[in-house]
């Protein structure tokens, strides 16, 4: 009992450090990416913190799975390095006695990963998509960052505005390049205003500018001066509605009117809790290390194993989406294989002193060869 309490305390303290490290790295990388998108005008600067929160919530199940796996691996590795396992085995205790404290440590993580995977993460995906779509549906002129070239929502025009009033109604030093039916039109003006007609449609009215027009069947440009030039501000809101992806659907929505896309997403969500518990159990036999060796090799193996497990789960998801395999035959074999690997590794470590263990058989074979050479 004393050992189990001490082990759980060590697992929790190690997990706290690992989680903070992984979470900080993830948040930093996501913040850099979102700030880059905001600088390029792809997301609103006011939405950066909200998008960062939604993105971190999306990555939280993966962070928790890695936290549990690495924590168990580090604690077991430290026990071998400090020769605590030598005392443990000399006392007649088995490696299987680690199962109970590790499972007790794993249960809250598995429950949290399940809640996040089945409920919180889909909500975060949907909120993030709505924030981005809301920005994309804004009028072209509202999406412009002064001093930067900005592509329109429909990808048919490029805007440049040097200055813009706070109410977005007046612009100065405007450049508009548009393409329609193969015709390329460039408009340059010193100033302009944004106006709205009775139907709620918005137009930009430019004053005292020049218009350059090029047609595919003619060489050269047509140059025209104008006192006023009116351009419709295309809005993405005029386009079709939102395409809700399977990742942003609730679990109940996935179970209704089910198709291959929904089955693939359901396979991933079901796989996360299995991945969490199996990797933590895998960390017990995998944590063996020579006391004279370092821990870095085990950490590299841990990362490779997680990546392999995660990628194989993604492959199974892709096969279900592409209808190459049925959902009922796809969601469980990978986890069963990992469970069998865990059993084999436990058997390998528990039978290390058995005369039938591969190490013992190999040593016996080498000893016989040495004896035969000695006789010769």
309 close to 337: Cβ distance less than 8 angstroms: no
| Same domain, residue pair 206 and 248 | no
Note whether 107 and 14 are same-domain residues.
yes
Q: Stretch 249-264: mean pLDDT, rounded?
A: 90
If asked whether residues 19 and 156 sit together in one domain, one would say no
Whole-number pLDDT of residue 45: 81
Per-residue confidence (pLDDT) for residue 319, from 0 to 100? 94
Residue 107 lies in a domain: yes
Give the model's confidence band at 236: pLDDT under 50 very low, under 70 low, under 90 confident, else very high. Answer: very low
Structure confidence by residue, pLDDT tens digits, 24-72: 999 999 999 999 888 876 787 888 999 999 999 999 999 999 999 999 9
Q: What is the 3-state secondary structure (H, E, C) of 54-67?
A: HHHHHHHHHHHHHH
Closest CA relative to residue 151, chosen from 243, 40, 261, 35:
40
Of 21 and 216, which is predicted with more confidence?
A: 21
pLDDT at 241 over 50: no
Whether 115 and 149 map to the same domain: the answer is: no
DSSP 145: P
> Residue 373 falls within a domain, yes or no?
no
Instruction: Specify whether 147 is located in the same domain as 195.
Output: yes
- Average the pLDDT over 88-98 and give the result: 78
Same domain, 61 and 203: no
Please tell me whether residues 279 and 356 are part of one structural domain.
yes
CA–chain centroid gap for 66, Å, is: 13
Band the pLDDT of 358: cuts 50, 70, 90. Answer: low
Q: Tell me which of 163-167, 201-205, 319-323, 372-376 is least confident.
A: 372-376
**Residue ranges of the alpha helices (H) in 40-153?**
48-81, 84-90, 99-115, 121-136
Backbone angles phi, psi at 329, to 5 degrees: -100, 0
The answer to whether 1 touches 7, Cβ cutoff 8 Å, is no
| Predicted confidence (pLDDT) at residue 221 exceeds the cutoff of 50 | yes
For residues 64 and 276, the answer to whether their CB atoms sit within 8 Å is: yes
Strand, coil or helix: what is 252? helix
Q: Which domain holds residue 148?
A: 140-234
Last residue of a domain, one of 206, 234, 262: 234
Concatenating the DSSP letter of every residue in 163-188 gives EE-TTS-EEEEEEEEEEETTEEEEEE
Last residue of a domain, one of 234, 255, 290: 234
CA distance 360 to 352: 8
Tell whether 106 is covered by a domain.
Answer: yes
Provide the number of structural domains found in the chain. Answer: 2
Lowest mean pLDDT among 82-86, 133-137, 260-264: 133-137
* pLDDT for the residue numbered 321: 92
Q: What is the dihedral sign for C-alpha 175, 179, 180, 185?
A: positive
Q: Are 92 and 121 within one domain? A: yes
173-204 pLDDT, tens digit each: 888 888 877 778 888 988 888 777 776 667 77
Rounded CA gap, 100 and 1, in Å? 11
pLDDT of residue 105: 95
Do 29 and 51 reside in the same domain of the chain? yes
Regarding whether 75 and 35 lie in a shared domain, the answer is: yes
Is residue 25 assigned to a domain? yes
Per-residue confidence (pLDDT) for residue 297, from 0 to 100: 75
C-alpha–C-alpha distance, residues 169 and 350, integer Å? 76
Residue 330 has pLDDT above 70, yes or no: yes
Cβ proximity of 247 and 122 under 8 Å: yes
Q: pLDDT tens-digit profile of 96-109?
A: 888 999 999 999 99
Residue (of 302, 299, 298, 285) closest to 343 by Cα position: 285
Cα(376)–Cα(373) distance, rounded to whole angstroms? Answer: 5
Residue 366 lies in a domain: no
Q: Are 168 and 145 in contact (CB under 8 A)?
A: no
pLDDT in tens, 208-217: 888 888 876 6
335, pLDDT greater than 90: yes
284 and 206 in a single domain? The answer is no
Residue 327 within a domain: yes
Q: Give the other-Cβ count within 10 Å of 224's Cβ.
A: 12
Exposed / middle / buried, residue 189 (Cβ in 10 Å: 0-12, 13-18, 19+): buried
3-state DSSP assignment of residue 285: helix
Our measurement of the distance from residue 194's CA atom to the centroid of its chain's CA atoms, rounded to an integer in Å, reads 40
Q: Per-residue pLDDT tens for 126-182?
A: 999 888 877 765 545 555 667 777 776 555 778 788 887 777 678 888 888 888 777
SS3 at position 243 = coil
Q: Is the domain of 26 the same as that of 94? A: yes
What's residue 143's pLDDT?
A: 57
Structure confidence at residue 237 (pLDDT): 45
Q: Which of 112, 101, 53 is nearest to 76 (CA)?
A: 101
The least confident of 132-141, 218-227, 324-333 is 132-141
């Amino acid at each position: 009992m004393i050992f189990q309490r001490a082990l759980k305390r060590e697992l929790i303290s190690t997990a706290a450090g690992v989680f903070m490290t992984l979470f900080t790295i993830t948040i930093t990388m996501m913040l850099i990416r979102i700030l880059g998108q905001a600088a390029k005008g792809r997301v609103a600067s006011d939405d950066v913190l909200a998008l960062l929160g939604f993105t971190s919530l999306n990555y939280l199940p993966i962070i928790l799975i890695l936290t549990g796996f690495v924590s168990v691996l580090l604690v077991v590795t430290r026990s071998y390095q400090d020769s605590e396992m030598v005392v443990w085995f000399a006392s007649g205790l088995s490696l299987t006695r680690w199962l109970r404290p590790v499972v007790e440590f794993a249960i809250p993580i598995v429950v949290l990963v399940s809640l996040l995977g089945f409920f919180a993460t889909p909500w975060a995906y949907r909120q993030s998509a709505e924030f981005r779509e809301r920005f994309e549906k804004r009028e072209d002129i509202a999406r412009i960052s002064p001093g930067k070239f900005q592509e329109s929502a429909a990808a048919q025009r490029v805007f440049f505005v040097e200055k813009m009033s706070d109410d977005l109604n007046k612009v100065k030093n405007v450049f508009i390049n548009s393409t329609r039916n193969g015709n390329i039109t460039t408009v340059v003006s010193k100033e302009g205003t944004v106006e709205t007609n009775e139907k709620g449609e918005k137009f930009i009215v430019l004053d005292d500018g020049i218009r350059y027009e090029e047609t595919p069947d003619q060489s050269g440009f047509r140059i025209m001066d104008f006192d006023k030039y009116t351009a419709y501000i295309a809005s993405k809101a005029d386009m079709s509605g939102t395409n809700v992806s399977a990742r942003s659907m609730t679990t109940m929505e996935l179970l209704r009117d089910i198709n291959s896309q929904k089955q693939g997403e359901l396979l991933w969500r079901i796989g996360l809790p299995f991945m969490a518990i199996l990797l933590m159990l895998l960390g017990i036999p995998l944590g063996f290390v020579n006391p004279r060796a370092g821990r870095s090799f085990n950490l590299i193996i841990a990362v490779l194993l997680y990546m392999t497990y995660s990628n194989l789960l993604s492959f199974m998801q892709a096969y279900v989406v592409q209808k190459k395999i049925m959902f009922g035959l796809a969601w469980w074999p990978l986890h069963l294989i990992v469970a069998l690997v865990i059993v084999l590794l436990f058997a390998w470590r528990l039978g290390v002193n058995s005369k039938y263990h591969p190490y013992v058989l190999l040593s016996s074979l080498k000893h016989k060869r040495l004896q035969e050479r000695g006789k010769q």
